[in-house]
């Protein structure tokens, strides 16, 4: 049983790590789109549509 538990724990840790990386990547994407919105509002609107509305106005 301990070996099986170790595999489950390892998988859980990996999933949590990947989720954290995804959250950080999304934060960076939002920051990049916010910078783009300041410079090119029309382009930012199109990017927002492509992202399915992931960008939120500050």
CA-CA distance, 36 to 44, in Å (whole number)?
A: 6
The whole-model pTM stands at: 0.57
CA-CA distance, 33 to 54, in Å (whole number)?
A: 10
The tens digit of pLDDT for each residue in 29-53 reads 888 878 887 887 777 777 777 777 6
The tens digit of pLDDT for each residue in 15-32 reads 999 999 999 998 898 888
């Amino acid at each position: 049983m301990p070996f099986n538990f170790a595999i489950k724990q390892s998988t859980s840790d990996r999933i949590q790590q990947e989720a954290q990386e995804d959250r950080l990547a999304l934060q960076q994407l939002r920051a990049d789109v916010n910078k783009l919105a300041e410079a090119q509002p029309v382009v930012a609107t199109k990017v927002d549509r492509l992202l399915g509305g992931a960008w939120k106005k500050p």
